Structure 1
Amino acid sequence: MDERSAVLGLDIGTGSTKAVLTDARGGILATSVRHHSMSMPHSAWAEMDAESDWWGDAVVCLRELAAAAADLGRTIAAVCVSGLGPAVVAESPGGAVRSPAILYGVDTRSGEQIDQLNRELGRPEILGRGGTELSSQAAGAKLLWLAQHGALQPGDRFFSSHTFVTWRLTGAYYLDHQTASQFDPFYDMAAGRWAEDWAGHYLPGRELPPLRWPGEIVGAVTAAAAAQTGLGAGTPVLAGTIDAWAEAYSVGTTSPGDAMLMYGSTVLMISALEGFRSHPGLWATTGLTPGSHTLAAGMSTSGSLMSWIRDLCSGQSYESLIEQARAVPPGADGLLMLPYFAGERAPVSDPKARGVIAGLTLGHGPGHLFRAGYESIAFGVRQILDLLRAADAAPTRVVAVGGGTQGGLGLQVVSDVCGIEQHVPRTVIGASYGDALLAAQAAGLADPSAGWCDIARTITPDPEHRAAYDELYPNYSRLYAATRSIVHDLADFGDARGT
């Protein structure tokens, strides 16, 4: 190992930008974090400022780690950037950002564009070509929204979060295949390229970025970017990808049968496949290498829901609420919750879905509500697993990552509800660690066939809890259908009054 070399991974997340400096074995030399938040100016919108939240925070983190490398006598051999997504922002030929960046499926503003695309292209044709039914996760529909609202004009270029930062670092315009495969319906999964006929029809005059694979070198740090970031001019910069797929790479869930279950502000499951397949309700995407494929699904709330419950129980800490929830039996004494507090992406695709709390009595307290929140998330994960089984893609090994792995009770409830083991890595840094691994491999410092993941513990299901959850699961599954028309009316009522 070259003791003088280091690699840098940077990830732009929903709540923060995180960067890590590692050696060739994955040893952590330094980290940097810059916190930010998304803006929700309307009930269906979720935005970020690409200049300040993406590039501005990246500059701060990169400068800190470039200084740390210099203090350690290390040379940064390569940089890789990942980010939240699929997200979209457009830039004019003169370099002006047209509007705030639209985020992934938590932004549900493109419903009219989805209806238009389904009507004009056909749902079966979209599913057959792109592998995924259109939902609020579809970045292609968000591009159409931008175009129809004057924020993506002919001659403009468009970016996701990580490619925007890479563009500022290198001047290289690209989109990685993995991210592009979530720009439905404008990526052809069978052909492995842009669906240029559909994109040309709906986005005439807009320049489609050339496609690259994650881990490929796309450019080098320019002199101007070096002056801003402290990185050495000429440092190789790699194509990154969407943060969840970078994190999946960091924990080694790349072989068929592997799945990553990520617990953050939302829940996301990515299951690696032997070959391409699709299923309604799941997102078919490419993997990180040519010929690789995944099926994925993401809920719209997880950690954000538990934070809401904590805030509702004002004055109580997470630790106190977790202990109260531990004392509550499985099933929360008849309390059942739907976690659709921000609409839902999967297992139901419904931006107008809303949270439901059923079975409340005067005997229920904060511990019941907190446990019911965990159980609602777990039931949603179980529904996603049912969809994967229906697609003949049930995972045989599940690795759990994200901030939600630290609490203990939430993980145990998911294992109990779903009947699965979850393996938790010793190092749970996140997507930036996967970026660093890609950078080390591209720089020739790490074996391309080896990873850095070391499993620290395994969560196993408690068989004594299975019967209660099996009894409740059908009621959970029926609750959405039973309340759908009511919550849609309530969503319209609230939207009409600006809530």
Structure 2
Amino acid sequence: MFVGVDIGTSSSKGVLVRPDGTVVARSVRKHGVSTPQPGWVEHDAERVWWAEFEAIIRELLDAADGATLDALAVSGIGPCLLPADGAGKPLRPAILYGVDTRATAEIAELNREFGAEAVLTRGGSPLTTQAVGPKLRWLARNEPQVAARTAMLLMASSFLVHRLTGRYVLDHQSASQCVPIYDMRQRDWALDWAAAVAPGLKLPELAWPTEVVGRVSAAAASATGLPAGLPVTTGTIDAWAEAASVGVRAPGDAMIMYGTTMFLVQVLTEPRPHPGLWLTCGTWPGTYTSAAGMATSGAVTDWLRKLVGGDFTDLVTEAAEVPAGSRGLLALPYFAGERTPLFDPDARGIVAGLTLGHGRAELYRAVLEGIAYGVRHNLEAMTAAGGQARRLVAVGGGTKGGLWTQIVSDVTGLPQQLPADTVGACLGDALLAATAVGVDTAGWNPVIGVVEPDPERGALYAAYYRRYRELYESTANITHFLAAQQRAGHAAATDRYGWPDL
């Protein structure tokens, strides 16, 4: 059997899988994020990543009933920055991916230092809040004592791999998001730029997610119950493992992940940089991917659910009775800024067109539609970059219920394939573990349904989409002013009341 474990933004999941792809057991642990200041989003690696990994493994082993384990793979949110000492001990909470926007000043500084065009050409992606490089410089500037003790740059997957095997290694896909310290075309660290961004930091070895890089040590076996000597693969970032779980590996294949944030991954045959997207190395050796990510999706629907009351089942049922267009409402889902293709951390959420006649059903549908407009915006950017999606596969918790996926297909005009299992990245991890030891995974997780777009609703949504684009452009100055006021208000409150130590 094969074990896959993924550390997500709001939960950790694990699966135990037979060689034919049958999921034997599942385990889930819920958690949150820490937001000690506006724009900061963090995880405690020991209490969240490692403790939940241990708990999930022990639960899966109980279900294994003595069956032989053949390999293990892990994935996690990323790209992240977890500074660790020479023994792999975390020195502070992990700074998460693009939802953490603290390093905007460093982004501008590094663009001036290296040149924005040179960064895009060499690194494949623009410098944004998703990039690790600016966060490394932020650490050196704002927490110099931590930076001075940092001997390892770890992410969720590489932290677990190091804890399990002792290897300090990172997969090429994750490393390619460490802009500007990775050279996309050379598929190696850009050591000259790395020396300028994080002088003295030893960078991890590089490998592909399908490679076995170590075996479970005796100490890790004692801590987790895993058998000593179990092969462990390199690991990768969760969205790419999730794409693997649904067979997204051929050029033109694309995945749309409905989760806390919305994420899209499309396979390319060659590197095609675009200023509004992330270009990365792929999961499979020699491949590339174009990636897009919205700062929020499920996070906004959950915020609204808590605000108006009720559960998701009720809200989906009510929203399904509302006609397309939400009776004249238009929402910008930028509640935590926006990542691709805007790269605007100061964007903010807006609901336009509200009247006294609107209720929670219209609001909920408007939010779903607003996120769908964001998906279309990103897909158009991918097409502009020369990566036309020929097959779109939907995954994640947001695929349940049918309404959200139908809205996205109606807005984009594209059908979406639905796989048999949408458990997510942990299934992809098990697939990568099986691949690494030579198992044929061609029959894993077949497609069982297709969401077809409705042309009539699509024509209405096309008009709304144009206004969606206009609404952001016409309100950006206002939302940027409000974002500055929010930061100033937090600073004043911090000065007056203090802020708890992490």
TM-score of the aligned structures, taking structure 2 as reference length: 0.95
Q: 1:331 aligns with which of 295, 319, 325?
A: 325
Query: Aligned residue for 1:90?
Result: 83
Following superposition, the deviation at residue 469 of structure 1 comes to 0.8
1:453 alignment partner AA: N
Could you say which residue in structure 2 is the equivalent of 1:55? 50
Q: Which residue identity lines up with residue 209 of structure 2 in the other structure?
A: P
Q: CA deviation at 1:67?
A: 3.0
Deviation at 1:486, TM superposition (A): 0.5
Decide whether the 8 Å contact of 2:73 with 2:430 is kept in 1.
yes
CA shift in 2, pair 1:451/1:99, >3 Å: farther
CA distance in structure 2 between the aligned counterparts of 1:168 and 1:95, rounded to whole angstroms: 7
Task: Report the residue type matching 1:107 in the other structure.
Answer: D
2-side partners of 1:308 and 1:95: how far apart? 36
Q: Is the 8 A contact 2:217 2:229 kept in 1?
A: yes
> 2:9 maps to which residue?
14
SS at match of 1:75: coil
Aligned counterparts, 1:16-165, within 5 A: 16-69=11-64, 71=65, 73-148=66-141, 149-150=143-144, 151-153=146-148, 156-165=151-160
The aligned amino acid for 2:110 is L
Give the residue type in structure 2 aligned to 1:38.
V
Map 1:204-219 onto structure 2 (within 5 A): 204-219=199-214
Q: Number of residue pairs matched?
A: 489
Answer whether contact 2:243 2:428 (CA < 8 A) is retained: yes
Q: Give distance in 2, aligned partners of 1:281 and 1:223.
A: 46
Matches within 5 A, 1:109-258: 109-148=102-141, 149-150=143-144, 151-153=146-148, 156-258=151-253
| Residue range with higher mean Cα deviation, 239-248 or 140-149 | 140-149
Contact 1:82–1:240 (CA under 8 A) maintained in structure 2: yes
Once the two structures are TM-superposed, the CA of residue 394 in structure 1 deviates from its matched residue by 1.4
CA contact (8 A) 1:275 1:291 kept: no
1:439, distance to aligned residue in structure 2 (A): 1.1
Hey, what's the Cα distance between the residues in 1 that align with 2:179 and 2:443? Answer: 31
Superposition pairs of residues 255-274 of structure 1, within 5 angstroms: 255-274=250-269
Q: CA deviation at 1:215?
A: 1.4
- Could you say what secondary structure the match of 1:473 adopts? helix
Q: Tell me if 1:359 matches 2:353.
A: yes
Q: Could you say what secondary structure the match of 1:76 adopts? A: coil
Q: Report the Cα offset of residue 406 of structure 1.
A: 0.4
Q: Judge which range, 175-184 or 14-23, deviates more.
A: 14-23
Structure 1: give runs of 5+ residues left out of the alignment.
1-5
Q: Give me the whole-angstrom Cα distance separating, in 1, the residues matched to 2:150 and 2:364.
A: 50
Alpha-carbon contact 1:86-1:160 (below 8 Å) kept: yes
8 A Cα contact 1:420 1:460, kept in partner: yes
| CA offset digits 1:276-315 (Å, max 9, x no partner) | 111111100010123201101000111111111111212x
TM-aligned CA deviation for residue 451 of structure 1: 4.8
Distance in 2 separating the partners of 1:130 and 1:96: 29
Q: Name the CA distance, whole Å, in 2 between partners of 1:274 and 1:217.
A: 24
Q: Distance in 2 between matches of 1:427 and 1:290?
A: 25
Which deviations, in whole Å up to 9, do the C-alpha atoms of 1:428-459 show, x marking residues without a partner? 11111111111112223x216x2512111100
- Residue 430 of structure 1 corresponds to 424
| Distance in 2 between residues matched to 1:297 and 1:291, nearest whole Å | 20
Check the 8 A contact 1:88/1:159 in 2, yes or no: yes
**Take 1:271 and 1:373, find their aligned partners in 2: how far apart are those partners?**
25
Partner residue in 2 for 1:3: none
Describe the SS at the equivalent of 1:153. helix
Partner of 1:348: 342
Kept in 2: contact 1:66–1:229 (CA 8 A): no
**Separation in 2 of the partners of 1:155 and 1:178?**
22
Task: Report the AA paired with residue 15 of structure 2.
Answer: V
Question: Aligned partners of 1:50, 1:327: CA distance in 2, in Å?
Answer: 43
Q: C-alpha distance in 2, partners of 1:246/1:347? A: 22
- State whether residues 136 and 197 of structure 2, in contact with CA within 8 Å, keep that contact through their aligned partners in structure 1: no
Q: Contact 1:45/1:109 (CA < 8 Å) preserved in 2?
A: yes
Secondary structure at 2:5 match in 1: strand
- Please say which of residues 329-338 and 173-182 is displaced more in the overlay: 329-338
Q: Return closer, same or farther for 1:379/1:443 CA change in 2, 3 Å cut-off.
A: same
- Matched position secondary structure for 2:280: strand
Structure 2, unpaired ranges of 5+? 494-502
* Separation (CA, whole Å) in 2 of partners of 1:342 and 1:96: 30
2-structure distance, mates of 1:369, 1:66:
44
Question: Relative to structure 1, is the Cα distance of residues 129 and 451 closer, same or farther in structure 2, using a 3 angstrom cutoff?
Answer: farther
Q: Within 2, Cα distance between the matches of 1:134 and 1:95?
A: 27
User: After the TM superposition, which of the residue ranges 85-94 and 413-422 deviates more from structure 2?
Assistant: 85-94
CA contact under 8 A between 2:301 and 2:364: conserved in structure 1?
yes
Change over 3 Å in CA distance of 1:183–1:172 after alignment to 2 = same
User: Could you list the per-position Cα deviations for residues 348-375 of structure 1 after superposition, in whole angstroms to 9, with x for gaps in the alignment?
Assistant: 1111110011111111111110110011
- Alpha-carbon offset, residue 89 of structure 1: 0.5
Letter in 1 for 2:195: G
Partner of 2:307: 312
Q: In 1, are the aligned partners of 2:182 and 2:189 still within 8 Å (CA)?
A: yes
Q: Secondary structure in 2 aligned to 1:481? A: helix
Alignment partner of 2:277 out of 282, 294, 297: 282
User: Hey, what's the Cα distance between the residues in 2 that align with 1:223 and 1:101?
Assistant: 26
**Which residue is 2:483 aligned to?**
491
- TM-score of the two chains, using structure 1 as the length reference: 0.96
| C-alpha separation in 2, matches of 1:473 and 1:491 | 24
Paired position in structure 2 for 1:458: 450
> Identity percentage over the alignment?
51
Cα displacement string for residues 117-149 of structure 1 (whole angstroms, at most 9, x for unaligned residues): 001111000001011111111112112222222
Q: How far did 1:154 drift?
A: 5.8
Moved over 6 A (4+): none
